[in-house]
Amino acid sequence: MKKIIGISFLLVFVLSSMTIAQEKRIPAKGLAVYEAGGGFKPYEFTRHAIGDDDILIETMYASICHSDLHHTHQDWGTEIYPMVPGHEIVGKVVKVGKNVTKFKVGDYAGVGCMVNSCGECDYCKAGLEQYCKKVMMTYHGKDWAHGNEITQGGYSNNIVVKDRFAVLVPKNADMKKVAPLLCAGITTYSPLRQSHIKKGDNVAIAGFGGLGHMAVKYAVALGAKVTVFDITEDKRAEAAKMGAIKYVNVNNESELKGMDDSFDFILSTIPAMYNPSMYLKMTKFKGDFAIVGLPAFNNQPTFKVMDFVFCAGRNVYGSQIGGMKETQEMLDYSVTNNIYPEVEIIKANADTVTQAYKNVLAGKVKFRYVIDMSTLK
Ligand SMILES: [Zn+2]
Ligand SMILES: [Zn+2]
């Protein structure tokens, strides 16, 4: 009898603590893709409870990055659906865990591509959390800290994130333009800093889209002489307006003549097939060629070994976003120097976002779509 009472007491205890744990989960709604390449539909789900080091953010804006399309189309490997994309997020802090000192309720916070990492490896210790083997992506990630549930992104009314993986957005920032800084901003700012770009350097930016136009703005702000490469005539005037001294339409062969050994630094942001050797040859001796654009896995540009040998002395490297410390530095630099992306604000309804994705795929978006999440029904 005693045993039965003991067991039932234990059962009640376990069940009630499960209920408490479940009650603490946070209801969320957003826009999801339900299959590879599919359109958006409304999606209701829950997020894990706010831990001691977590903050709850009410999403204000989330923007559309080209890599969101790669994920929704399964260009970069197997994905799990429904998927709520969005890794360029800005919002208002509405709740904080008891250990959080970096944020208080009412602050503005930004979230980028990652929401957790091991915190102990050499990468994490060096502030390069993006290279941690346990880095957790903001969406389509396995949340190893919460029973491997799949993370969901910013096309939603809220997000719960560790304070360490959110940046403090100054109150005077232009909020509707902040979100793209969290991926497009840091992805281009970081290699410009890694290669120590300074006044007077000859810099080329290949690919003049969401990432590329941020790269142009940062390089111009750093005092570089900037040349833009793209495959359209449509953006020639925009490049000049942003301070580029030259625009090259790669489709016009005559414009490419005499450009070998010209640049101290070239940044490729191109997300589709192209000829990387062409840019390697344009890099000066001791110059850097940095690559951040990532085309689909089944449509990868290639270098020939001989290109490296014949272009000896050039440094080629890849770069992914930036660590959290550098992301905060980028954000502060951008706000202080009034460097923001060119944005088009759209409503958070399924049809509008589905159409926006089609436009991005067709190259019809000029730079960045930003979804106004306050319009989510
Ligand atoms: Zn991105
Ligand atoms: Zn780590």
Residues 131 and 154 both lie in one domain: yes
Residues 198 and 314 both lie in one domain: yes
Residues 6+ apart with CB under 8 A from 78: none
Residues 44 and 190 both lie in one domain: no
- Give pLDDT, residue 77: 85
- Residue 58 falls inside a structural domain: yes
- Residue 221 falls inside a structural domain: yes
- Give pLDDT, residue 1: 52
| Ligand 2 centroid – CA 8 distance (Å) | 42
Residue 296 in this model has a pLDDT that exceeds 90? no
How far, in Å, are 2, 10, 17 from residue 5 at the CA level? Answer: 5, 8, 18
β-pair type (136-137, 368-372): unpaired
Residues 114 and 242 both lie in one domain: no
Give the Cα separation of 255 and 135 in Å (integer).
42
**E strands present in the chain:** 26-33, 40-47, 54-64, 89-96, 108-111, 114-116, 136-137, 142-143, 149-150, 158-162, 167-169, 202-206, 225-230, 246-249, 263-268, 283-291, 315-318, 343-347, 368-372
End-to-end CA distance of the chain: give it in Å, rounded.
54
- Residues 190 and 147: beta-carbon distance below 8 Å: no
Ligand in nearest proximity to the CA of 135? 2
For residues 243-268, give the mean pLDDT.
Answer: 97
Residues 123 and 222 both lie in one domain: no
Residues 79 and 134 both lie in one domain: yes
pTM: 0.91
Domain holding 101: CATH number? 3.90.180.10
Structural domain of 255: 184-318
| Ligand 1 centroid – CA 255 distance (Å) | 30
Q: 352 by DSSP, 3-state: which?
A: helix
Q: 133 by DSSP, 3-state: which?
A: coil
Report residue 364's pLDDT band, with 50, 70 and 90 as the boundaries: confident
| Ligand 2 centroid – CA 183 distance (Å) | 20
Give the Cα separation of 96 and 105 in Å (integer).
7
| Ligand 2 centroid – CA 245 distance (Å) | 41
Residues 148 and 170 both lie in one domain: yes
Residue 3 vs residue 205, higher pLDDT: 205
- Give pLDDT, residue 10: 53
- Residue 312 falls inside a structural domain: yes
- Give pLDDT, residue 9: 52
Amino acid at 216: V
Residues 133 and 42 both lie in one domain: yes
- Residues 39 and 87: beta-carbon distance below 8 Å: no
| Ligand 1 centroid – CA 67 distance (Å) | 5
Residues 35 and 159 both lie in one domain: yes
| pLDDT tens, residue by residue, 202-249 | 999 999 999 999 999 999 999 999 999 999 999 999 999 999 999 999
Residues 207 and 97 both lie in one domain: no
- Give pLDDT, residue 213: 96
- Number of domains comprising the chain: 2
Give the Cα separation of 44 and 90 in Å (integer).
20
| pLDDT tens, residue by residue, 35-81 | 999 999 999 999 999 999 999 999 999 999 989 999 999 988 888 99
